[in-house]
Amino acid sequence: MKEERRKKKVESGKWKVGGIFLLMLFTLIACATGEGVEPHEAWVRSAKQGEITAVYLILHNHTNVDDALIGVSTDVAEAAELHLSEVNNDVMTMAPQERIEIPTGGEVALESGGYHIMLIGLKKDLQIGDEITITLNFENYPDVTVTVPVKDSAEEHQSHP
């Protein structure tokens, strides 16, 4: 009787360890196959130390859960904020945003005249050809670090892969 209970405990423990292993394996496979929130076509506009500039990119949500960009950080600026530019009554306004929604299977473009990332108080000049690093913080998906080239326009970025 005791021997049977011991065998059941051991077998039960094997299933738990095996289940955890399979879960970790599926997670690794999902990450390796492009699952998650993936940034594309990132670029930042050149600017001088002390100025502000903007980062633009496309975020694609490959997960099966709606997500949101809830923050960004970088070491090249005093502050990094999510913003939205809009035209209301022929007047361009720009407002900080707490979050940018990214629907399941969808994408959101952070672009001039819409959502973008503002870098405020640059700590150094950003010259064409330089690269910076930003970290994107999501509500559900783990943080993503992105290397962002310094450009002067989206067209220049698209013509140079």
Interval 13-62: pLDDT, tens: 555 555 565 445 444 444 434 578 999 999 999 999 999 999 999 999 99
Does residue 121 surpass a pLDDT of 90? yes
Which CATH code fits 37-159? Answer: 2.60.40.1890
Give me the pLDDT at residue 68, please. 96
Interval 61-83: pLDDT, tens: 998 899 999 999 999 999 999 99
Interval 88-107: pLDDT, tens: 888 888 888 999 999 999 99
In the block, which residue shows the tokens 């999501």? 138
Cα–Cα distance measured from residue 148 to residue 129, given in angstroms and rounded to the nearest whole number: 10
